[in-house]
Amino acid sequence: MEILYNSGTLLIILGLPFFLSGTVGLIRFPDIYTRLHALTKADNVGLGCIVCGLALQSASWAVTAKLLLIWLLVLIASSASCHLIARSAMQKNIQPWTRP
């Protein structure tokens, strides 16, 4: 039990840098498309780590299932809204930033 709990903690700690770097990317990256990359990928992996960590720590299957459901929902939602934003940006003729 102790091992499970501690590896859960490790997973949560692993997830935190993803969130922070997602925000750094959102601030630092040069255009809307690259920012979308940062936002969707980093945050989803971060949330995945935290969800898995909490699932390892929780004693009940019900909580684990609900956590996984939340993650799945966030995954679907963020990839769909990411695609929507990118598509609208393309349709509005917003040119992607390229290396000078």
Of 3-62, which residues contact another protein (CB under 8 A)? Answer: 9, 12-13, 15-48, 50-51, 54, 57-58, 62
Sites for another protein among residues 60-89 (CB under 8 A): 62-63, 65-67, 69-70, 73-89
Residue among 4 and 97 whose Cβ is closer to another protein: 97
Burial class (CB in 10 A: 0-12, 13-18, 19+), 43: buried
43: nearest Cα among 67, 57, 25: 25
- Least distance to another protein from the beta carbon of 7, Å? 14
